[in-house]
A and B are shown apart, each in its own frame.
Chain A
Amino acid sequence: MSTATARPRVNLPRLTLVQRIGLLLGSIAFLVPLLVEIPGLEPAGRRMLAIFLLAILFWVSEAIPLYATAVLVILLQVLMLSDQALIGVAGTLPPAASYFAALANPVIILFLGGFLIADGAHKFGLDRSLAAVMLRPFAGNARLSLLGLMMITALLSMFVSNTATTATMFAVVIPILAALPQGRARTGVALAIPVAANVGGIGTPVGSPPNAIALGALEAAGQGISFIGWMLLAVPLMVVVLLFAWWFLTRRFIAADTPLALELSADFDRSPAAVIFYVIAATTVLLWLTEPFHGIASSTVGFLPVVALLATQVMGADDIKRLQWPVLWLVAGGIALGAGIGASGLDVWLIGLVAWEALPLTLLLLLLVGVSVGLSTVISHSAAANLLVPLTLSLAIGLPIDPTAVGVMVALACALGMALPISTPPNAIAYATGEVPTSEMILSGIAIGGFGALLLALVMPSVWNALGLL
């Protein structure tokens, strides 16, 4: 070409009013604990409180991107609460490296493996082909087809991010949607996918970031859970909520005689690279499920596909670059935040704030789950978990309930906030198709999320106890 070519321009986004307020309040909230004497809180605890308040306001208002707040949290902890602190405090502070190490936390390594397997599944078309094969038994009846669609979406979402699952399933379903008569049936199908993806995400530790955040915090507290251990805690809830969602959505949107043809063709890639991928992915999942027999930690197993896929060159440098680094940084920020709250003594001070033990346990759990669902409805699930997991784990110390139950409960509750298009990326995708009015999303989100929340707070602790899982 003989002429100059146009360059991309980086346009800085204009801040919304909420973002401006968040920026201002976050900065003020950051300064207050540093300037004002707080009874019962040591200097290190005050510094941590400052960072925590800033994190709350920045993550809630999205004044800066979520992952930017995460890296800011790590930097502030290094500058204020580590051996490299600009101004030292009495007592020993953790080394700066321990904060940076959050990005190499075993949970992040576990996710790295999960991400590579998920990306590979898409690269070789495995996600679509599996969906096609698994939909076959449900063909013929509209309501049953929807059940099949939701189960497959949930199953994929257990191993693939909720967002990617929704994108894949909509790519499959949009032609089918177009064949349906305009109106309620379309809304039902378009709602079923994000609901199933959100709910399915709770099924395994790699299903969605809140699980990783809870797992990381529990491991730091010496309460680690195995991959299969997590599944035993979460899958019963996942299945019951899915069935309820299916019942709710079909009764509301899908007439029994709706013509719904969900027949897709499976096209399995049989190239040598694809076959190697299938073997590595299957081995990894098998090892995850059998941890009690071999004792290899799930994070170590998660690193296996990373090594094997790169060594066999089934995946390469480009695939590493495409990994969802913003998500990994966000989780790392949450892990660093949790570590700082524990190390600075802020947790002890927080417990002392309210006489939680005076409240009946059931009410407390309802409150816990309610706040988690509410917050994750209006902000990112991962950011909500980043804030709530360390907070509630500190509180759990004084309660007559296993801290593991509390950590898992918050993570699961953070998956149930799905009443608005902004609640989760899957909801945003469903809304963008134009088939889902906001009012219907709110209604089904409240019904399904509310049902799940009640089940989680009132029934699951007894189920977990009865099954001897805690």
Chain B
Amino acid sequence: MKLALLILEDERPVREALRRDLAAFARHVRIEEAEDVPTALEVIEEIDAAGDRLALVMADHRLPGTSGVDFLIGLAADDRAFATRKVLVTGQADQDDTIRAINEAGLDRYVAKPWQADALRDLVREQLTEFVLAAGVDPLPHLAVLDAERALSIVRERGDL
């Protein structure tokens, strides 16, 4: 089982920039891209069918068709995305959209474009750790991409089985 990270972004250069800045995670995390919401839903179906877990979605707001915020609101009720962490990566969400994303989608973080690569990596590590803790996933296979100290706090409660 792999942790999956979904990038939902219609602009190709932005997707590539995200993927480049998150390259350090690519060895341990399944990184998927989608340019619009229907593609994103297909990707989620693929992740689920492969037995992987959608740990983190990084979505832009302005997309052709359904908006990123509406996608995240739908995701909040999706069993395939239980405990999935939601991050809005955008420069263009207005106040109302942002309020809806927080109140209705349970938005976890907001990243304003342009982002700082280091801060973004820290944020992804933190959010993957939050997912593993909330979803009850065994952290050991994913330790390399997690905040080790927090991840090990679950392991310590296992005892010497």
Contact = CB atoms under 8 A, between A and B. Distances in A.
A432 B140 contact: yes
Nearest to B74: A3
A423 to B, nearest CB: 12
Contact of A6 (B82, B136, B143, B159): B82
A interface residue count range (under 10 / 10 to 19 / 20 to 34 / 35 or more)? 35 or more
A329 to B, nearest CB: 10
A163 B82 contact: no
Residue among B75, B135, B143 facing the most chain A CB atoms (10 A cut-off)? B143
A8 B157 contact: no
Contacts of A382: 160-161
B156 A164 contact: yes
A346 to B, nearest CB: 26
Nearest to A9: B79
B interface residue count range (under 10 / 10 to 19 / 20 to 34 / 35 or more)? 20 to 34
Interface in A152-192: 161-164, 167-168, 170-171, 174
Contacts of A7: 79, 82
The DSSP consensus for interface residues of chain B is helix
Nearest to B152: A167
Contacts of A428: 140
Nearest to B159: A324
B161 A327 contact: yes
B66 interface: no
Interface in B136-161: 136, 139-141, 143-144, 148-149, 152-153, 155-161
18 contacts: A5-B76, A6-B76, A6-B81, A6-B82, A6-B84, A11-B51, A162-B160, A163-B156, A167-B152, A171-B149, A171-B153, A324-B157, A326-B161, A327-B160, A382-B161, A425-B158, A425-B160, A429-B152
Interface of A: 1-9, 11, 66-67, 115, 122, 161-164, 167-168, 170-171, 174, 201, 208-209, 322, 324, 326-327, 330, 380-382, 424-425, 428-429, 431-434
Interface of B: 51, 73, 75-84, 103-104, 106, 135-136, 139-141, 143-144, 148-149, 152-153, 155-161
